Chains A and B, each alone.
Chain A
Amino acid sequence: MNTNIKLAWRNLWRNRRRTLITVASIFFGVMLSAYMTSMQEGSYTKMVDIVVKFYSGYMQVHHEDYWENKSINNSFEYNQELADELLANKDVEFVFPRLESFGLASSKELTKGAMIFGIDPLGENQLTKIADKVRSGKYLEAEDEGVLMGAGLAKYLQLGVNDTLVIISQGYHGVSAAEKFPVRGIIKHVSPELNKTIVYMSLAKCQEFFSAENRLTSLVINVADNDVMKRAFHDLKKKMKAPYSIMSWEEMQPEVVQQIESDRAGGIIMKAILYIVIAFGILGTIMMMIMERRREFGVMVAIGMRKGKLASVIFFETLFIGLLGILSGLLVSYPLLLLQSANPIPLTGQAAQLMEEFGFEPYMFFSTAWQVFSQQAISVSVITLIIAIYPVISIFRFKVIKALKA
C-alpha cells in the first residue's frame, strides 16, 4: 500500500505541467462553484431572514384547527405552562403572543376591511422591528387603548394621528364587537398589501374587543437562524400535544420554500455543466497518461506486478489529482468567501431601490455555511472516483504482450 502511494505520488509529478493544468481546472471549478453557491445560499439566508422577520417568525404554535380555518373561534387560551415548555428549549430565544382577526374599519363616511392584530408591542418589535416603521405619531405601549394603522388604510379612511377609528367585527363565539379607537400612529408597512389593511392594537385591548379574554391565535417562537430552527422544530414538534400544533415558517409559507428550491435547482444545473466540463478534462489527462505509459505498465506486469496492484497505483494517481484540486480550491475559496461574507457587495441603481422598498438590504450576501464547501468537495470526489474507474478497467483489460510492443 505504502509503495503504491509513493509510486502514485511520484508519477503525478512526471508530467508536472499536465498535472498542474488538470489540478488548476479543478481548482477554478471549485472556486467558481463555491462562489456561486455561497452567493445563492447567502441570498436565501437573507431572504428567509426577511420573510421570517416580516411577519411569521421562525415557528408558531396554534390551536390545531386554526391553520385550516383562521377564525377567532379557533383561538386558544394562553397558558404559562405551554410558554414555559417552549422556552425550556435552549434554542428558543423568545416567545410572544398574537391575536389576529378581521373587521370593518371606518371613519365618518368610509369603510374598509381590515386585518386586526393584537400584539405584545415589545415582543412584536423584537422580531419585526415595526416601531421603526412608524411614520407619524408613536408606537404602541404595553396596554395601549389606541391603535396603529397602515398608512394606506389611514389614507383611504382619511384619518390621521389622534383621529378616531371605528372597528366593527364579530368576537369570540359570535359576540358582536364594535368600538372606537384613538389612532396612536401611522406605520408604513413594507408589504403594500398589509399597508392597506393592517390595524395593530395591544393584545389586552384586542382580547377585550373580541371578547376573547386571555385568548391567542398564535404564539410566535423565535430562534437564532434557520439551521437552529430545524433542530428546535424537530424537538418541539415531538413535545406538542393536542389541542396545540406547531408550524415552521416553511409550512406556513411553502411558496417561499418553493421559490428557493427552484432557484437552487437552476444553480445546480449550471454547476453540473461546469463540473461535467472539468470531468472531461480530467478524463482526457488520465487517458493520455495511460496511453503514454502502456509499455511501462507492460514491463511492470511482465516482471510480476499484479494488475490489481498496478490499478491501485493509477487509481491513487487519479485520486490525488482530484484531491489536490479540491484542497487548493477550498484553501483559497474559504478565506475569500469569509472575507466576502463579512463585506457584502453593495448594489446600486434601480435594483437596489426596489430592494430597499421591499425591506431588503441592497447588498449581495454570501454564505459560508459548510455545505457551500462540502458540496464542491463531494462533487469533485464523486467525479474523480468515477473517472478513476477508467484506468482500472483498461489495466485489467490490457494484454501484457501488446503493451510491451507499444
Chain B
Amino acid sequence: MNIIEITNLHKIYNESEVNVHAVNNVSLNFKEGEFAAIVGPSGSGKSTLLNMLGGLDEPTDGKILIDNTDLSELKSSDLIQFRMQNIGFVFQSYNLIPVLTAKENVEFIMHLQNRPKKECEKRTMELLDAVGLKGRENSRPSKLSGGQQQRVAVARALASKPKFVLADEPTANLDSKSTENLLEIMEDLNKKENITFIFSTHDQRVVNKAHRVITLEDGKIISDERKKGTGSDS
C-alpha cells in the first residue's frame, strides 16, 4: 500500500517578473519501508519537493495524500498536529533545540504528544542506543559533534513513531566518516524496523546506499530507479 501519493504537483515562485517553476508536474508514490534518495543539481527542486511533502510549504497545484489524508485540506493548526504524529524531520543543520540535552531533545516531541513519562524515557534510551549515543544522553548539542547531532536528530525524528522520515541533505555538513556512520544507522533502522526514509543528497556515497533514486532536473522527474535486491519494491 502507498503511504504517500503525489499527483501532478507544481510549485511556482513568483519572483518579481520571472516565475520560477521549482517543481513541475511531479507525480510519485512511496510505499512503507522505502529507503529513497532524491538527487539532482542545485536548484532542481529537491528541497521544495520535500518541504511540500512534509506539509511545510504549500503546493501551487496538485495533490499530496499521506495515508489518504489530503494535506491541502488541513487547517494550519491541524497540519502542525499532523506533522507531529506522522512525519519525522531531519534538517541539514541546527536541528536540535540548543538548550536541551540529547535525551531531552528526543523526548521533546513525545512530550508534545503527551505520552506517559515512563514510555518516553524507555523509547528515548532505546533510540539513543540505536544511533550509538548511549552515554551521551545528557550532553547538550553544543557538546556534540556534527555527526552526533545528526544522529540525535534521527533519533528525535523517530521518537514520535512517524509514518516516514524526511531528511533534506542530512549529511551535507558531515565528514565522510560521520556520513557513513549516519547512513549505516538509517539503513539499519530501515531494515530492522521497516522505517521509511526519504532523503535528498548531493553525495554519491549516500546515493549508492539508497534503494531507490529519484532524479530531478528543473523541477521535473527525469528518472526513478529501484535497485535490485532491496527492501520493499517486491
Contacts and interface: CB of A to CB of B under 8 A. Distances in A.
A65 to B, nearest CB: 71
A404 B81 contact: no
A10 B80 contact: no
A316 to B, nearest CB: 13
Most B CB within 10 A of own CB, among A301, A309, A401: A401
B80 A296 contact: no
A307 B80 contact: yes
Q: Is the interface of A mostly helix, strand, loop or mixed?
A: helix
B112 interface: yes
A304 B81 CA distance: 6
A7 B111 CA distance: 13
Interface stretch (B32-40, B95-103, B172-180, B216-224): B95-103
Contacts of A328: none
Interface residues of A, number: 20
A305 interface: yes
A406 B54 CA distance: 18
B57 A304 contact: no
A14 B98 contact: yes
Given A3-B111, A400-B56, A404-B91, A304 B97 contact: no
Given A307-B80, A309-B112, A404-B91, A302 B54 contact: yes
A295 interface: yes
Contacts of B83: 302-304
A299 interface: yes
A50 B57 CA distance: 73
Interface in A319-360: none
Nearest to B82: A304
Nearest to A7: B99
A306 B81 CA distance: 7
Most B CB within 10 A of own CB, among A10, A302, A307: A302
A11 B156 contact: no
B160 A304 contact: yes
Given A7-B99, A306-B81, A307-B80, A404 B156 contact: no
A300 interface: yes
Chain B, interface size category, equals 20 to 34
Nearest to B51: A401
Nearest to B57: A401
Interface string A374-406: 000000000000000000000000001100100
Contact of B77 (A10, A296, A306, A404): A306
Interface string A1-14: 00100010011001
Contacts of A304: 80-81, 83-85, 109, 112-113, 160
B94 A296 contact: yes
Interface in A284-320: 295-296, 299-307, 309
A287 to B, nearest CB: 19
B100 A10 contact: yes
A356 B6 CA distance: 91
Interface string B110-126: 01110000000000000
Closest 5 CB pairs of A and B: A304-B84, A10-B99, A401-B57, A304-B83, A401-B56
Given A7-B99, A296-B94, A304-B113, 9 more contacts: A14-B98, A299-B89, A302-B56, A303-B89, A304-B160, A307-B80, A309-B112, A401-B51, A404-B91
17 contacts: A7-B99, A14-B99, A295-B94, A296-B97, A299-B95, A302-B56, A302-B89, A303-B88, A303-B109, A303-B156, A303-B160, A304-B80, A304-B160, A307-B77, A307-B80, A309-B112, A404-B51
Interface of A: 3, 7, 10-11, 14, 295-296, 299-307, 309, 400-401, 404
